[in-house]
Chain A
Amino acid sequence: MRWLRFIIGLVIALTLHSLLDSFFPNALAFFNPYVILVIYYSMGGNLLGAIVAGVVAGLVQDSFSGAMFGLHAFSLTFCAYVVAYVNARLALRGPAAFGACLLGAVVVNELLIYVLVNILVKQRIEMFEQGMIVKTIFTCIFGMLVYLMLSLFLREEPIEATKRPAY
Chain B
Amino acid sequence: MQVVIERRPTLLLIVVLGLLFVLMTFSRSTRYIGETRTMFERTVMTVFSPVPKAVNWAGQSTADMYHGYLDMRRSVAENLELHHQVLQLTEENLRLRQSQGDLARMRSLLSYSEELPTPTIMAQVVMLDTSSRFKSIIINCGTEAGVEVNDPVVNANGLLGRIVLTTHDMAKVQLITDSNSAVGCLIERTRRQGVVHGDGSSAAQMADIPVLADVVVGDVVSTAGIDGIYPKGIPVGRVIRTDQGKSLFKAVWLLPAVDFSSIESVIVLHTKKIAPEVVRYTP
B31 touches A68 (CB 8 A): yes
B23 within 8 A of A: yes
Q: Of residues 183 to 203 in B, which have CB atoms within 8 Å of A's CB atoms?
A: none
Return chain A residues, CB-CB under 8 Å to B17.
74, 77-78
Interface stretch of the complex, out of B41-49, B92-100, B164-172: B41-49
Q: Does A70 touch B at the CB level, under 8 Å?
A: yes
Looking at the complex, which one of A14, A19, A167 makes contact with B59 (CB distance below 8 Å)?
A: A19
Which of B50-58, B119-127, B174-182, B272-280 is near enough to bind chain A? B50-58
Taken together as a complex, chains A and B put the C-alpha atoms of A70 and B56 apart, in Å, by 25
The reply to whether B48 and A18 form a contact with Cβ atoms under 8 Å apart is no
CB pair A47–B9 under 8 Å, yes or no, is yes
- Given the interface contacts A14-B48, A19-B55, does A55 sit within 8 Å of B5 by beta carbon? no
Q: Would A51 and B59 be within 8 Å (CB), given that A68-B28, A71-B24 are in contact?
A: no
A residues less than 8 Å from B38 (CB atoms) = 69
Pick the contact of A55 from B20, B41, B48, B59 — CB < 8 Å? B20
Q: How many residues of A contact B (CB 8 A)?
A: 33
**A48 and B4 alpha carbons, distance in the complex (Å):** 11
Partner of B55, one of A15, A55, A63, A74: A15
State which residues 1-46 of B face A: CB under 8 Å.
5-6, 9, 12-13, 16-17, 20-21, 23-25, 27-28, 31, 37-38, 40-41, 44-45
Closest to B60 in A: A22
User: Is A14 a contact of B51 with CB atoms below 8 Å?
Assistant: yes
Given A55-B20, A121-B28: A69 and B41 interface contact (C-beta under 8 Å): yes
Residues facing B in A67-92 (CB within 8 A) are 68-71, 73-74, 77-78, 81
Cα separation A155 to B40 with both chains bound (whole Å): 38
Closest to B19 in A: A70
Contact partners of A55 in chain B: CB under 8 A: 16, 20
Considering the chains assembled together, what is the distance between the CA atoms of A62 and B40 in angstroms? 11
Query: Taking A60-B44, A64-B45, A77-B16 as contacts, is the C-beta distance between A48 and B24 under 8 angstroms?
Result: no
- A74 and B21 in contact, given A18-B52, A48-B9 (Cβ under 8 angstroms): yes
Q: Are B27 and A69 in contact, with the CB atoms below 8 A?
A: yes
Among all A-B residue pairs, the 4 with the closest Cβ atoms = A70-B23, A18-B55, A70-B24, A69-B27
Q: Knowing that A68-B28, A78-B13 touch, tell me 8 more A-B residue pairs with CB under 8 angstroms.
A: A15-B54, A23-B59, A58-B20, A63-B44, A69-B27, A70-B24, A74-B21, A77-B13
